[in-house]
Homo-oligomer: A and B are copies of this chain.
Amino acid sequence: MADCHTNTEAADAMFARYGAAMPDFGHWNATLATLMRHRSVRAFTDRPIPEGVVETLVAAAQSAATSSNMQTWSVIAVTDAAMRANFSAWANDQAHVKQAPLVLVWLADLSRSERIGAAQGREMITLPYTEMAMVAMIDAALAAQNATVAAESLGLGTCYLGALRNKPQAVAEALGLPAQCFPVFGLCIGWPDPARPSEIRPRLPQSVVLHHERYDISQEAAGIALYDERFTAHQRQVGLPPSGWVARMIERIGTMRGLNGREIMRGALAALGFPFH
């Protein structure tokens, strides 16, 4: 019975993600179930976050790999309603940002390394290089994803908030960030409202994103055409205008509107102490 239930659950999650382009797979367990069932949640109840949850999520985050054990990230747990209202305003008034009882702000944090060197009278000369900014951003992302998986394993819903990058300097000032510390993204966390459930979003067929031995686009155009149809059907199903995925990508990536003001990123990063040498 357990196996039967498990296999049905696996097949359902895979079908939601891939439709008829579902890959052949043969592995399933509780952790895979948590991963595969992910959907972004943008509607939360009033129920507060229980004691110990933030510490558990951060323990999961710190358990992720980090380049050379440098641990060049930090996280700020924001529960203050006024600050969440600020975040919402800076994120084009996304309502769920105010509604989520907890927003974790993930920081690429090279400032701690600078202080560690200063305490020993040493200049940390590699910090201005592009490589170090990349390490800090990547490590923050690995940590945040572990926290996301941990939150979802507890039944919480999450939604990444890339829109914090619409106003990086305002966010840095509001949170009292030192130089060499950059808010990479937020993560809204709360209990999903069962009255407004979200759906698993379809993704590109594996034939488009997974390559074997060398980069190979021979199946790309067919895979994207198939996905565009599936995505359009998904839009209809969840009550959105059925524009298709390709049209959305052209609007998001092919117009300056799509950047939501983030064309300032290079200058904003420099101002926050990331010169990208």
A positions within 8 Å CB-CB of B: 14, 17-18, 23-27, 29-32, 34-38, 40, 50-56, 58-60, 62-65, 67-71, 73-80, 83, 107, 112-113, 115-117, 119-120, 122-127, 129-132, 134-135, 137-138, 141-142, 144-146, 148-150, 153-154, 158-160, 162, 165, 175-178, 181, 184-185, 201, 203-204, 206, 208-217, 220-221, 224, 245-246, 248-250, 252-256, 258-259, 262-263, 265-266, 269, 276-277
Contacts and interface: CB of A to CB of B under 8 A. Distances in A.
A123 to B, nearest CB: 7
A123 B65 contact: no
Contacts of A184: 134, 138
Given A25-B59, A58-B209, A122-B254, A65 B249 contact: no
A150 to B, nearest CB: 6
11 contacts: A37-B63, A64-B145, A65-B160, A70-B249, A70-B253, A112-B208, A112-B217, A129-B262, A129-B266, A142-B144, A175-B214
A255 B117 CA distance: 11
Given A17-B62, A77-B212, A224 B116 contact: yes
A27 B14 contact: no
A203 B62 contact: yes
A32 B62 CA distance: 12
A154 B137 CA distance: 28
B59 A150 contact: no
Contacts of A122: 250, 254
Nearest to A166: B131
A74 B217 CA distance: 11
A126 B201 contact: no
Contact of A210 (B25, B54, B135, B201): B54
